[in-house]
Amino acid sequence: MPAKSKTVRKSAAKKAPNSAPKTRSTNGAKSSPKTPKTSKATPATRKAAAKPASTAASAAATRPHNSPGPAPQKSVPPKGPVTLGPPKVVGEELLDLVFKDDFYARQIFVFLGVRTVNELEQFEPGQIYEKATGPIRESIERIRERLALLNRALAGDQEFAVKFLG
């Protein structure tokens, strides 16, 4: 009886000679080694890669033209009083405890003569700014006037000195 010959599958016969043979992994499944595929660059693709395609004109030309329909409606919050939600501190809380890490804020509270959150809430931001900067503005005016009396002036402030003396 003649010896049986092994049959070769068609897919194995058609493989390129440089491809790696299929191997079996430890669990018995067939796998083939992964090799990165490289694309062959043609002269046309080389030219396209060399040109930057991020210009606005070319981008606009490639997009389909959409008519600018009505703008999407934004949800408008209902008009009414603004609420902050429940307070996280009580009104009688001492400002020194709330602002314990902010030395300058505590100095403003001393200047305003307030000790609690309720007392501070009676002021508007503009009022606090005016009260805090008022003495500084007055001091600067006194400095300018005193220098003008001595025929001197701050940098770029000669016009004030001339007007004050005249």
Q: In this predicted model, what pLDDT tens digit does every residue of 15-38 receive, in sequence order?
A: 555 555 555 555 655 555 555 555
- Give the confidence band of 82 by pLDDT, cuts at 50, 70, 90: confident
The residue among 76 and 102 whose pLDDT is bigger is: 102
**pLDDT for the residue numbered 142:** 97
Q: Judge whether residue 99 has pLDDT over 70.
A: yes
158 φ/ψ angles, rounded to the nearest 5 degrees = -65, -35
**pLDDT for the residue numbered 79:** 76
Q: According to the 3-state scheme, what is the secondary structure of 57-104?
A: HHHHHHCCCCCCCCCCCCCCCCCCCCCCCCCCCCCCCEHHHHCCCCHH
**pLDDT for the residue numbered 74:** 74
The residue among 107 and 38 whose pLDDT is bigger is: 107
Where are the chain's structural domains?
90-123, 129-166
